[in-house]
Chains A and B, each alone.
Chain A
Amino acid sequence: MTGRWSWFNITSVVVGFTFLYLPIVLLVIFSFNESRLVTVWAGFSTKWYGELFQNQGILDAAWVTIRVALISASVATVLGTLAAVALVRFPRFNGRTVFTGMVYAPLVMPEVITGLSLLLLFVAINFARGFWTVTLAHITFSLCFVAVVVQSRLVSFDKSLEEAAQDLGCPPFQAFMKVTLPVIFPAVISGWMLAFTLSLDDLVIASFTSGPGATTLPMKIYSQVRLGVTPEINAVCTILIAIVTSGVLIATILNKRRNMQHKHN
């Protein structure tokens, strides 16, 4: 860290963080509000959390969301890792630039467009919309995030490790499973975390691709908010924030540790 903590620095940090986190802090605080009125503080209570667990609609939505996130993150991790390996390992295959661009395009594509195009596809092939369409859509857009994370690790991976494994008697695929994968595993895990979190958060794409009986939690929250914000919603949001924050934190820590190990080497 160079430079000192001047008043200017401190003020900008405080203002910046207030701007970013005040709404969230308010939401968390009001989730513990006694009163039904969202904006009037009437004392501390956890009753909305209790009531939340009685609300079957929200529980169902949460269960759908978690299943979608688990499946889509896992599939996206496998596919994203494979894409990253292909991108790093075979630097001169035909159409590499196009392939790279195609893998990364969803990163910058507006979600509305991704959602709409997927919807059109599902309608065109007459795929009944519901749980699986949401899952497929989430695999599609989180795959590229996994690929980016894994690729950045693979770039610094010493290819002679894999050659050494082959030299000692491993066929290429075994060499990958026994040496490469264990070494890049922290990156794969943080890729999975990222995909899981993204899927948990997503509203736009899910709204486009979901069907009856497959309402995700963000969709549920959004539809309830239109009828008026209740402290119950604040409670759900607080739990979501906790899950997402811990996911991001774990991914960051894994990344840090892996980088430190790397530096150490």
Chain B
Amino acid sequence: MPSLGSIRRSFAPWDDPAAKPYISFKNVTKRFGDFVAVDNLSLDVYEREFFSLLGPSGCGKTTLLRMLAGFEEPTEGEIFLDGQSLKGVPPHKRPVNMMFQSYALFPHMSVADNIAFGLKQDGMEKGARDERVAQMLKLVKLEEFAKRKPDQLSGGQRQRVALARAVAKRPKLLLLDEPLGALDKKLREETQFELMDLQQQLGLTFMIVTHDQEEAMTMSDRIAVMDKGIIAQIGTPAEIYEAPNSRYVADFIGSGNILEGNVASSDDAHVTIKGGDGEIVGALRGSKAPANGEAAWFAIRPEKMQVSRSKPENVDNALEGEVWDIAYLGDMTIINLKLDSGNVVQASMINRSRLVEDPIGYDERIWLSFSADSGLVLER
């Protein structure tokens, strides 16, 4: 049986029924006046997990993080950390540290004093404190900047100070609110891997809030995709990408094509739907096929389709259309194909060779083909 995605993971406590969750949200609801930010949400996160909360702004992900840090109290429900209820525990008494989206560095203190702040607060003696600060500065490669003030640092350096300050107290759980949001693309990509290394090195549990799906995919062990205060789907990046449970998730993660139709027939692995684009057969998600005649949606990723000029033979599915838009991105080329039904489908081709014989251009009629297992039939 092949598995989803191209990575083998050995760390998967969520599949182990004996594993005890480290963080537990139990039926947590948070209301601000009439607005429901988090709606009866339950969630388990395990020790040493790199967990991402992903969603558009206003979906409740930051509220979830702030409830864990203690800046907001749940309206209903309870949160447990390592088996202890966090009810009524103020932020300064929680064994949790947070890295803020704005970094929240203290502008009147030097980098070293910023990092030492939490240690001083804990009453750690000066010798040990200085040693820890030096260690943290080394960890984030800012040794020469110890005496600088935050406003004398670049964005990337500030981000590192914020990180060093948050991990200086060696919390077992680190919360990160859009930690890379203010960095430019290149720096962001570098920092993603640094964060992963740091998490491994210190053996911490990371809970991160982000709206950037690529960032979440790169770093996380598991991702919770959120929508209007509820969790739409929880899973490994591969599960979320290759087996979304709804159109919302399929659409939010990566680029996807969704074609509508009604169930025409099904067996225990595949479902055929019939709509404006003819019959399409896709993989069944889950174990129970929807009844014939029900509305269903076929979802497929652009890279899972083959592009050809002539009608392909011996394939499960083929769609014909006119090249509507075409974009060359370097590593790949994206083609938007307008089908005869008027639907536009996106396909992408990896540019494996530099030289291409007779490339595809605008206004050509071409074919897209894909196997039944490349796409999923979704019921919602």
B104 at the interface (CB under 8 A from A): yes
B92, B108, B117, B151: which contacts A182 (Cβ < 8 A)? B108
Restricting to A237-265, which residues have a CB under 8 Å from any CB of B? 261, 264-265
A158, A165, A182, A183: which contacts B102 (Cβ < 8 A)? A158
B98, B102, B107: which contacts A167 (Cβ < 8 A)? B98
Tell me the minimal C-beta distance from A260 to chain B in angstroms.
11
Chain B minimum-CB-distance residue to A175: B92
Whole-angstrom distance between the alpha carbons of A24 and B369 in the complex?
90
Contact with B along A157-170 (1 / 0, CB 8 A): 01011011111111
Q: Closest 6 CB pairs between A and B?
A: A168-B118, A169-B121, A164-B104, A160-B104, A166-B91, A160-B100
A116 at the interface (CB under 8 A from B): no
Q: How large is the interface on B (under 10, 10 to 19, 20 to 34, 35 or more residues)?
A: 20 to 34
Known interface pairs A160-B100, A160-B104, A179-B106; A170-B121 also in contact (CB < 8 Å): yes
Residues from chain A with Cβ under 8 Å of B104 in the complex: 158, 160-161, 163-164
Whole-angstrom distance between the alpha carbons of A169 and B124 in the complex?
12
A16 at the interface (CB under 8 A from B): no
Restricting to B89-131, which residues have a CB under 8 Å from any CB of A? 90-92, 96-98, 100-102, 104, 106-108, 117-118, 121-122
Restricting to A8-34, which residues have a CB under 8 Å from any CB of B? none
Contact with A along B113-157 (1 / 0, CB 8 A): 000011001100000000000000000000000000001000000
Q: Is the interface of A mostly helix, strand, loop or mixed?
A: helix
Asked if A170 contacts B92 (CB within 8 A), the reply is yes
Residues from chain A with Cβ under 8 Å of B151 in the complex: 261, 264-265
Whole-angstrom distance between the alpha carbons of A247 and B97 in the complex?
44
Asked if B121 contacts A168 (CB within 8 A), the reply is yes
Q: List 25 A-B contacts (CB under 8 A).
A: A158-B104, A160-B102, A160-B104, A161-B107, A163-B91, A163-B98, A164-B104, A164-B106, A164-B165, A165-B117, A166-B70, A166-B90, A166-B92, A167-B98, A168-B97, A168-B121, A169-B92, A169-B118, A169-B121, A170-B92, A179-B106, A182-B108, A183-B106, A265-B107, A265-B151
Q: A163, A164, A168, A170: which has the most chain B beta carbons within 10 Å?
A: A168
Give the B-binding residues of A (Cβ under 8 A).
158, 160-161, 163-172, 175, 179, 182-183, 261, 264-265
Asked if A164 contacts B92 (CB within 8 A), the reply is no
Whole-angstrom distance between the alpha carbons of A175 and B91 in the complex?
11
B248 at the interface (CB under 8 A from A): no
Residues from chain B with Cβ under 8 Å of A261 in the complex: 107, 151
12 more contacts with CB within 8 A, not counting A168-B118, A169-B121, A265-B107, are A158-B104, A161-B106, A161-B107, A163-B100, A164-B100, A164-B104, A164-B106, A168-B117, A168-B169, A169-B118, A175-B92, A265-B151
